Structure 1
Amino acid sequence: MKPTRFEIAIALIDQKNAEDINTYSSHGVEFSKELLYSQRMFQKLLQFKSDASEELQIAARAQHICRWKIARNEFPMDRVGYLKWRETLKKMHATITTEILTEVGYSEEFIKRVSFLINKKMIKKDEESQTIEDVICLVFLDYYFEEFASKHEDKKIITILQKTWGKMSEQGHNFALSLNYSDKSLALIKQAIH
């Protein structure tokens, strides 16, 4: 049976992310860092919002497409440089995804919506943009938080958790509290949100 347009788009996004030179090792398996991240985004989205639209699913999968191509150190190592880097990345992610979706025959309207979501426009006002933001935070908390927390002081972690919490919806908060954490991580989260 012929693959659907959606399946082809997802496969092409994965193919791009599989080119990531950065790898992550787990249980003796080497993963392309951004391919693993995009699959985690996709899975977490479907756990969080099982009825997610096709646009939202593609935006989640392509959230970090080819991220390694623009290094953080290409921009000044300050807050302004960081924000500029993030904006430049978002534009690149949207451009690459637009090319893929155009190639497989999606409509201009569909492609514009995916770009809008990748750029995380109107968070707090647009429900799907907010969902993307929630999923990004949930992926961080579920997969990356423990390792990150082990490298920094509690005070810094609490500040980061408070910022993360501030980006999320109430639904996102409830879902975040249902994830499995170590006792220490859970204590830090409770400290941050109370």
Structure 2
Amino acid sequence: MTDQLSRTLAAIDAANAADPRMDDGQPEALLYGQRMSEQCERLFPEAQDVLQIAARGQHIERWILKRADYPEGRAGYLKWRRDLADHHANRIGEIMAENGYDTETIDQMGRMVRKQGIKRDPLVQALEDVICFTFITWYFAPFAAKHTPEKVQDIVEKTARKMSDAARAKVLVEFDLPENLAAAFS
């Protein structure tokens, strides 16, 4: 890992360490970023800096824009998600610029975090695969415990649709899913 990448990831971690929400005894955004980096390294051991940075910072300062500050319903939810993606891309971009990354690389990270080009841009798709594996590995079981089987099935199907063919095949090998859920990844 280069010093430039190391400094950038450390700055993202420093920002996320301020998260007042806790998960497993750590600031939630900090833990999420570390889990994303773990999955990125596992799935893409030769990942370019831009993928490693986007993975680590994908939820940078997520607590700043609260869902409760947006209108109820789907339109409010989608506006919140767009605003979050813009905030994440802008904050990561600031950190990258401070650490000497060029405009082209910063713009690529922004497209990745905003999911612009999913299914078309290999780096955007790689980040989405990392996101999905992070969800399945650490967040799916708690989610499933709180929702109806129908809602769980719906989320699994939506998750599978976002993933690349290779990532869906890897899910079937790595996770022991019930038949109805596994079918979404086939």
TM-score bin (small chain): over 0.9
CA drift of 1:8 comes to 0.5
How many Å separate the matches in 2 of 1:121 and 1:55? 15
Task: Give the direction of change, closer, same or farther, for the CA distance of 1:164–1:151 in structure 2 (3 Å limit).
Answer: same
Structure 1, 46-55 or 170-179: larger mean CA deviation: 170-179
Q: TM-score, normalised by structure 2?
A: 0.94
Q: Which amino acid aligns with 2:181?
A: I
Q: Pick from 124, 128, 141 the counterpart of residue 129 of structure 1.
A: 124
What residue ranges of structure 1 are gaps of 5+ in the alignment? none
Task: Give the direction of change, closer, same or farther, for the CA distance of 1:180–1:191 in structure 2 (3 Å limit).
Answer: closer
Q: Pick from 83, 89, 110 the counterpart of residue 88 of structure 1.
A: 83
Q: Pick from 176, 181, 184 the counterpart of residue 171 of structure 2.
A: 176
Runs of 4+ in 1 over 4 A off after TM superposition: 191-194
Q: Indicate conservation of the 8 Å contact 2:169/2:185, yes or no.
A: no
Check if 1:141 corresponds to 2:122.
no
SS in 2 for 1:141: helix
Give the fraction of aligned pairs with identical amino acids, expressed as a percent: 37
How many Å separate the matches in 2 of 1:52 and 1:66? 24
Q: Indicate conservation of the 8 Å contact 2:171/2:185, yes or no.
A: no
Q: What is the aligned partner in structure 1 of residue 19 from structure 2?
A: 20
How many Å separate the matches in 1 of 2:178 and 2:13? 33
SS in 2 for 1:178: helix
Q: Indicate conservation of the 8 Å contact 1:142/1:179, yes or no.
A: no
Show CA shifts across 1:59-92 (max 9, x none): 1111000000000111112111111101000100
Q: Pick from 43, 52, 66 the counterpart of residue 48 of structure 1.
A: 43
CA drift of 1:102 comes to 1.1
Q: Indicate conservation of the 8 Å contact 1:75/1:81, yes or no.
A: yes
What residue ranges of structure 2 are gaps of 5+ in the alignment? none
Q: How many residues align?
A: 185
